[in-house]
């Protein structure tokens, strides 16, 4: 009887040790793609499925777009951004007046704030045109590709950011588009 109890205790200790080893391995696994490891804080990196928009951009005639500080490509992307994120609804049925509604207003407002900030920084000479162009190009690419994706956590992070530079960093460095 005493040997049976010792045998059961030894078997249970071995199985418990195996459980703890698996937990320790799971906690120390470095291949987690949802977070970026850093010593101070771990920041979430978002990944969204992307699609090429060159065909849509080429179908936009030049007389439909306006002038933009960052050039014709950004002007076309802004036109595409506006057309995808906004739509018109009638105020009252039968009345020709309409109200502009915005899809994903948090992302829309963030892109507009980033655009204003980059234009202001460019005007004041704080950044170069190439830097502003590449940053805003990435921001627009992200915004055009996340329209149909689930972005609840991203929108929470956008709401948490308190300045435009961290918001720009969120769009340019912490969001990956997978083509």
| 38 lies in the same domain as 16 | no
| 17 lies in the same domain as 37 | no
| 83 lies in the same domain as 120 | yes
Q: What is the mean pLDDT of residues 72-97?
A: 92
pTM of the model: 0.73
Q: Which residues fall within 8 angstroms of residue 114, CB to CB, at 6 or more apart?
A: 135, 136, 139, 164, 167, 168, 171
| 61 lies in the same domain as 20 | no
| 115 lies in the same domain as 54 | yes
Q: Residue 41: is its pLDDT beyond 50?
A: no
- Write out the residue range of the structural domain in which residue 21 sits: 1-30
| 93 lies in the same domain as 171 | yes
Phi, psi for residue 142 in degrees, rounded to 5:
-65, -50
- Rounded distance between C-alpha atoms, residue 146 and residue 178, angstroms: 11
Q: Residue 125: is its pLDDT beyond 80?
A: yes
| 92 lies in the same domain as 24 | no
Quick one: residue 149, left, alpha or beta (phi over 0 = left, psi -120 to 50 = alpha)? beta
Count of domains observed in the chain: 2
- Rounded distance between C-alpha atoms, residue 83 and residue 128, angstroms: 29
| 22 lies in the same domain as 90 | no
| 10 lies in the same domain as 60 | no
């Amino acid at each position: 009887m005493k040997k049976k109890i010792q045998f059961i205790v030894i078997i249970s200790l071995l199985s418990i040790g195996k459980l703890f080893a698996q937990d320790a391995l799971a906690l120390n696994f470095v291949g987690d793609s949802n977070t970026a490891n850093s010593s101070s804080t771990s920041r979430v990196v978002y990944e969204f499925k992307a699609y090429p928009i060159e065909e849509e951009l080429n179908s936009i005639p030049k007389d439909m777009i306006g002038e933009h500080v960052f050039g014709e490509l950004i002007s076309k992307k802004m036109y595409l951004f506006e057309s995808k994120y906004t739509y018109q609804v009638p105020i009252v049925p039968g009345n020709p007046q309409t109200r502009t509604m915005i899809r994903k207003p948090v992302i829309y407002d963030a892109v507009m704030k980033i655009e204003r900030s980059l234009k202001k920084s460019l005007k004041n000479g704080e950044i170069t045109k190439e830097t502003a162009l590449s940053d805003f190009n990435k921001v627009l690419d992200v915004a055009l590709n996340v329209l149909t994706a689930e972005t609840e956590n991203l929108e929470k992070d956008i709401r948490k950011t308190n300045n435009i530079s961290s918001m720009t960093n969120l769009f340019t460095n912490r969001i990956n588009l997978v083509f």
